[in-house]
Amino acid sequence: MNEARDLTKRVKEYAHQKVGFDLVGIASAFDPQFDRAPKGHHPDEWLPGAQSAITGGIKVLREILDTTPSPLYAKHYEQMNAWLLEAGYRLARGLQDMGFKALYFPETDPYAYFNTKRDHGEPRMSPSFCHIHAAVAAGLGKRGKVGVVLTPEYGPRQRWTTVITTAELIPDPRLEREICLEFIKPGSCGDRCIEVCRTEQSGALKAWPDEGGVTQYKCAFDDLKARGLACGRCIAVCPVGKDYAPENRGSD
C-alpha cells in the first residue's frame, strides 16, 4: 500500500509540477463510470492491462473568455487544445520512463472527423474517449445542468485530457456534493447556459440527462466555424466556480 501511495504522489507531482496541469485526478480504469462508454472505448480496450486513468485539466482564462465570440477566444481555444496534446504526451512519456505503459487521448477528436461522420448519417458525436466520465470518476467535478463537468475551482471553465496507464494508482474519492446551482436550488440560476445558447445561437443545450444535454451537431461552434471562431458563451455565463466574478459580467 505504501508503494502505491508513493507512486501516486510521484505521478501527481509530476503532472502538476513538471507538466503544469491546474487540476489532476485519478480514477480506476474499472470505475463504473467508464461502463457508459461505447464498445471499444473502455480503458482496458484501448490499453490491455490498464489499471488507472489520470485526467488533467487546464483552466480557461476568464478575461479572454469574456470576449467570446472573438478571434482572441478562438485562438485561446486552439492554444489550450495544443497545450493539452503536448501535456498528454509528456505525462504518458513520464509514466513510460517510470516503467509503465501509457496512452494519452486528444482533448477532442478533430471536428472534420465528426463532420464526416455527420455527413454519413451518424446521429451523434462519439469521441474516442470521454473526458467527462473520466473527470467525474477521478473526483474532479460533477456534471451540471447540461451534462458538462463543473469543478469547484473553475465551474465549467476548463478543458481536459486523459492518460490511461498500467500503473496501479490510488483513485481519488468521487466528489459527492452538487455544484450546479440548478441542482442545489432549482430556479436559482435561471438556466443561464441554456438560455444564452437558445437566445443567441442554435439552442444546442438542453437539460441533462432527460433531454440529452449538449447536441454537438447543433452547437454554436458549427455556426461560427466558417468565421474561424469557437463559442464559449455557455461557460462564460455560468456563475459556478471560484474564478467567476459577477462584476465582470455586467448585470447579474
For 143-190, the pLDDT digits (tens) are 999 889 999 999 999 999 999 999 999 999 999 999 999 999 999 998
Distance between CA atoms of residues 152 and 141, nearest Å: 7
Q: What residue spans define the domains of the chain?
A: 2-243
pLDDT of the residue at 227: 60
pLDDT of the residue at 134: 95
Instruction: Label residue 106 exposed, middle or buried (CB < 10 Å: 0-12, 13-18, 19+).
Output: middle
Classify 136 as helix, strand or coil: helix
CA 45 to chain centre: 21
- Looking up cell 487546464 gives 58
Taking CA atoms, 238 is separated from 114, 145, 182, 185, in Å, by 27, 10, 11, 15
pLDDT of the residue at 69: 85
Task: Give φ, ψ of 149 to 5 degrees.
Answer: -70, 130
pLDDT of the residue at 238: 94
Q: Which three cell numbers stand for residue 218?
A: 447543433
Prior bond to 69 cis, omega within 30?
yes
pLDDT of the residue at 106: 85
- The secondary element (H helix, E strand) that includes residue 52 is strand 52-59
Distance between CA atoms of residues 75 and 82, nearest Å: 10
Whether this prediction's pTM lies above 0.85 is answered by yes
- Digit-by-digit pLDDT tens for the chain (252 residues) are 789 999 999 999 999 999 999 999 999 999 999 988 777 789 999 999 999 999 999 999 999 999 988 889 989 999 999 999 999 999 999 999 999 999 999 887 666 666 676 677 766 666 678 899 999 999 999 999 988 999 999 999 999 999 999 999 999 999 999 999 999 999 999 899 888 887 555 677 777 777 667 766 666 555 555 465 778 888 999 999 998 866 545 433
DSSP strand pairing (142-143 vs 102-104): unpaired
